[in-house]
A and B are shown apart, each in its own frame.
Chain A
Amino acid sequence: MSLSPIDEAALTEGPQAPGDAVPEAAAKEFVGRSPGQLAWARLRRDRTAMISGVTVVLFLVIALAAPLIERLYGVGPYQQFQGQLDGAGMPLGYAGGISGEHWFGLEPQLGRDIFIRLVYGIRTSLLIAFVAAVITAGTGVVLGVVAGYLGGWVDAVIGWIIDFTLALPYLIFALAVVPTAALRFYGPRDNPPDWFKMTVIIGIFAAFGWTATARLVRGQVISLREREFVEAARASGAGLLHMAFRQLLPNIWAPILVSFSLALPAYITSEAALSFLGVGMVDPTPDFGAMIFKSIDFMQTDPAYLFFPGVAIFVLVFAFNLFGDALRDALDPKSSR
């Protein structure tokens, strides 16, 4: 009985000791930095990371401020400029009708401004990609932690679901599901509204995209499961929720963040591909994939129409990919990519 207070004191001091000792002993030479601060410092030093990061932020700002840009630019995404097309419906002037008024020229036939349509296209694209990435990351983390931590039959079932999902040909499935869903809810005559198509596309991404995160998290959790701090938490009676959110997740947020940032460009690409194939967003909604699909018909007569959306989506995806890679380097300096 008399010994217990001392034991308790020793126990509470024990884990704190190294953390306290370092700043006290070496306060003059060293500054204590959290892993997050270290990663941020590494990111700041990386020139590629800064440039791609700024580009990413720029795209985000453009997407958010699209209506403001429209007002400043003075042209809307659905406005038609038939007067600036020739008899065959091709834009007058050089390189698809580039002018001070229409920076990237006009679309053949409909005569809509390409620049402002790209601005709104970024909005469509990023909205879908962000929502899909958040949902897949959430699902993947939850299922990954549950499978990795509980193990046994739960792990086996989740593992089988992952294998099953991977066996489904995603693109072909998406091709088939989008029109079927539209037919189910809107019938063959009506054209479903944008929000409905976006929801279906996000739903498909959510159904197929969580497997990668789940596998990653599961692997990480399995390697953490046998560590002493987890054992200690379990011994002191921690429940599954406490275990997942207070013990395990703080240790694996870095790979999750990296996979989230690399999922974004993947969804941007997939969404554009679906729209290219005619099952994603359709005209008149501004969208990269749909624009490129239309531009292929005018490839020989108006290559500028193909060029601008193609380059725009490349820069967007490239910036996200570069930034995701730089983030990985900053968070995990040991990795060699």
Chain B
Amino acid sequence: MVRFLIKRILTAVLTLTAVSIVAFLMFFALPADPVTGMCPKNCNTERLERVRDELGLNDPKPEQYVNYMKGIFVGRDLGSAQGGQCDAPCLGYSYVNSEAVSDTFARVLPVTLSIVIPAAVIWLVLGVGLGMVSALRKGTVLDRLSVGFSLTGASLQLYFVGAVLQLVFVYTLHILPTPGYTSIFDDPLKWASGLVLAWWSLAFLFSAIYTRLSRAQMLETLSEDFVRTARAKGLAKGKVYGRHALRAAITPMVTIAGLDLGSALGGTVITETTFGIRGLGRTAVDAVRLGDLPTIMATVLISAFFIVLANIVVDLLYAAIDPRVRLG
């Protein structure tokens, strides 16, 4: 177990290092001049040169990379124009937002989490639930409906669903306020009513995939010997399906949920753009539009970090749910 964990973490560190190098090369070394996009509109050559110097773009590339990484782990001094001392998770300074990138992220991360976590709960419960039910009632109207639901959901576009939902519930029926973010600690009701459309459009599309997969998985599990044995020895249906079969069928779902984090992050980018909510995704889109390189770089790194972390958690969960899995 410990050996597995160490091995897994070492691979993860290696992967993250590679991601950071690739991202660094892409965003700081590839552009003809990374500064043009970073400097506010009225920039003269003198100021451009100063920005270039402050960003250390005149240093050799490996040194720039080492400095950037050093900033993340121990912090570094960025110079007076960039807000002076930048503490430990230092991701650079954004000239566009006029603040340290880590401050921007501290502000927008709760927004994205407020969208993704409730949406994930909805899509997992809805998707796995529908899949299980339709597997148990295979061939019935219910089964056909849920298969149809999952195919429809898999073919719809997130932004189209979001726009239609908004048109119906906000502009036509006037049931919900214009989507927006309020902190859950300030006003939980407003928090929920402002984000509920984002949750459901995200959940609708993602639950489609889970319905499909969990139905297939459950059908396969139900045909296995241990399920028949459990039924044959007189165990109640509910117990067999709810305990034995569900547990075996849910294991692959955990892996997929972990792997899906990447596309869920992509999903929030689209959701936030559709509803005009400023979270991690919208920040990334804006940063790209404005050529705000430190913010783009940080978004890639943070997303990659979460994805790698999620995969480690999945591997551990896998072993916890399915005792047959040997880690090593």
Which residues of A are interface residues toward B (Cβ below 8 A)?
A: 160, 163-164, 166-173, 175-177, 179-181, 183-184, 187-188, 265, 269, 272-273, 276-279, 289, 292-293, 295-296, 299-300, 303, 306, 310, 313-314, 317-318, 321-322, 325, 335-337
Which residues of chain B are within 8 angstroms of A318 by Cβ–Cβ distance?
151-152, 155
Within 8 A of A (CB), among B14-41: 15-16, 18-19, 22, 26-27, 30-32, 36-37
Interface residues of A, dominant DSSP: helix
Is there an interface contact between B266 and A337, defined as CB atoms closer than 8 Å?
no
- Whether, in the assembled complex, B128 has its beta carbon less than 8 Å from a beta carbon of chain A, the answer is no
Is there an interface contact between B156 and A299, defined as CB atoms closer than 8 Å?
no
CA distance A318 to B97 in the complex (A): 41
- Whether, in the assembled complex, B215 has its beta carbon less than 8 Å from a beta carbon of chain A, the answer is yes
Is there an interface contact between B31 and A277, defined as CB atoms closer than 8 Å?
no
Which residues of chain B are within 8 angstroms of A169 by Cβ–Cβ distance?
262, 265-266, 299-300, 303-304, 307
Shortest CB-to-CB span from A289 to chain B, Å, is 8
Which residue of B19, B296, B311 is within 8 Å of A176 (Cβ)? B296
Is there an interface contact between B155 and A317, defined as CB atoms closer than 8 Å?
yes
CA distance A295 to B154 in the complex (A): 22
Which residues of chain B are within 8 angstroms of A300 by Cβ–Cβ distance?
167, 171
15 extra interface residue pairs, beta carbon distance < 8 Å, beyond A167-B262, A337-B215: A169-B300, A172-B284, A175-B288, A180-B27, A180-B30, A188-B36, A276-B270, A277-B273, A279-B288, A296-B159, A306-B167, A318-B151, A318-B152, A336-B216, A336-B220
Is there an interface contact between A277 and B269, defined as CB atoms closer than 8 Å?
yes
Q: Mark B274-290, 1 if CB is under 8 A from A, else 0.
A: 10000001001100110
Whether A171 touches B269, Cβ cut-off 8 Å, given contacts A265-B155, A313-B160, A336-B216, is yes
Is there an interface contact between B307 and A179, defined as CB atoms closer than 8 Å?
no
Is there an interface contact between A167 and B31, defined as CB atoms closer than 8 Å?
no
Q: Mark B246-266, 1 if CB is under 8 A from A, else 0.
A: 000000000000010011011
Is there an interface contact between B171 and A296, defined as CB atoms closer than 8 Å?
no
Q: Mark B56-98, 1 if CB is under 8 A from A, else 0.
A: 0000000000000000000000000000000000000000000
A169, A176, A188, A296: residue with the most chain B Cβ atoms closer than 10 Å: A169
Which residues of B are interface residues toward A (Cβ below 8 A)?
A: 11, 15-16, 18-19, 22, 26-27, 30-32, 36-37, 151-152, 154-160, 163-164, 166-167, 171, 212, 215-216, 219-220, 259, 262-263, 265-266, 269-270, 273-274, 281, 284-285, 288-289, 291, 296, 299-300, 303-304, 307-308, 311
CA distance A172 to B284 in the complex (A): 7
Which residue of A176, A187, A321, A336 is within 8 Å of B32 (Cβ)? A187
Which residues of chain B are within 8 angstroms of A265 by Cβ–Cβ distance?
155
Is there an interface contact between B152 and A292, defined as CB atoms closer than 8 Å?
no
Q: Which 7 pairs of residues, A with B, have the shortest CB-CB distance? A: A171-B266, A169-B303, A318-B155, A310-B160, A317-B155, A176-B296, A336-B219
Whether A176 touches B262, Cβ cut-off 8 Å, given contacts A167-B19, A273-B158, A337-B215, is no
Is there an interface contact between A172 and B266, defined as CB atoms closer than 8 Å?
yes
Is there an interface contact between B304 and A167, defined as CB atoms closer than 8 Å?
yes
CA distance A317 to B151 in the complex (A): 10
CA distance A293 to B158 in the complex (A): 12
Shortest CB-to-CB span from B268 to chain A, Å, is 9
Which residues of chain B are within 8 angstroms of A278 by Cβ–Cβ distance?
285, 289
Question: What are 7 A-B pairs with beta-carbon distances under 8 A?
Answer: A160-B15, A168-B300, A170-B262, A172-B266, A176-B296, A181-B30, A183-B291
Which residues of chain B are within 8 angstroms of A335 by Cβ–Cβ distance?
216
Is there an interface contact between B155 and A176, defined as CB atoms closer than 8 Å?
no
CA distance A293 to B276 in the complex (A): 12
CA distance A280 to B77 in the complex (A): 38
Is there an interface contact between A306 and B164, defined as CB atoms closer than 8 Å?
yes
Whether A176 touches B27, Cβ cut-off 8 Å, given contacts A183-B291, A337-B215, is yes
Is there an interface contact between A168 and B304, defined as CB atoms closer than 8 Å?
yes
Shortest CB-to-CB span from A204 to chain B, Å, is 12
CA distance A92 to B30 in the complex (A): 49
CA distance A276 to B162 in the complex (A): 13
Which residues of chain A are within 8 angstroms of B151 by Cβ–Cβ distance?
318, 321-322, 325
CA distance A166 to B262 in the complex (A): 8
Whether A299 touches B288, Cβ cut-off 8 Å, given contacts A164-B15, A176-B27, A292-B157, is no
Is there an interface contact between A176 and B270, defined as CB atoms closer than 8 Å?
no
Is there an interface contact between B154 and A168, defined as CB atoms closer than 8 Å?
no
CA distance A171 to B300 in the complex (A): 10
Which residues of chain B are within 8 angstroms of A299 by Cβ–Cβ distance?
163, 166-167, 171
CA distance A293 to B273 in the complex (A): 10
CA distance A293 to B157 in the complex (A): 12
Shortest CB-to-CB span from A203 to chain B, Å, is 13
Whether A296 touches B274, Cβ cut-off 8 Å, given contacts A167-B308, A168-B300, A269-B157, is yes
CA distance A33 to B171 in the complex (A): 59
Is there an interface contact between B163 and A167, defined as CB atoms closer than 8 Å?
no
Which residues of chain B are within 8 angstroms of A176 by Cβ–Cβ distance?
26-27, 284, 288, 296, 299-300
Is there an interface contact between A183 and B31, defined as CB atoms closer than 8 Å?
yes
Which residue of B163, B216, B266, B284 is within 8 Å of A170 (Cβ)? B266
CA distance A163 to B299 in the complex (A): 19
Which residues of chain B are within 8 angstroms of A337 by Cβ–Cβ distance?
212, 215-216
Which residues of chain A are within 8 angstroms of B171 by Cβ–Cβ distance?
299-300
Shortest CB-to-CB span from A335 to chain B, Å, is 8
Is there an interface contact between B155 and A166, defined as CB atoms closer than 8 Å?
no
- From B296, which residue of chain A is reached at the shortest CB distance? A176
CA distance A318 to B269 in the complex (A): 23
Is there an interface contact between A310 and B291, defined as CB atoms closer than 8 Å?
no
- From A177, which residue of chain B is reached at the shortest CB distance? B26
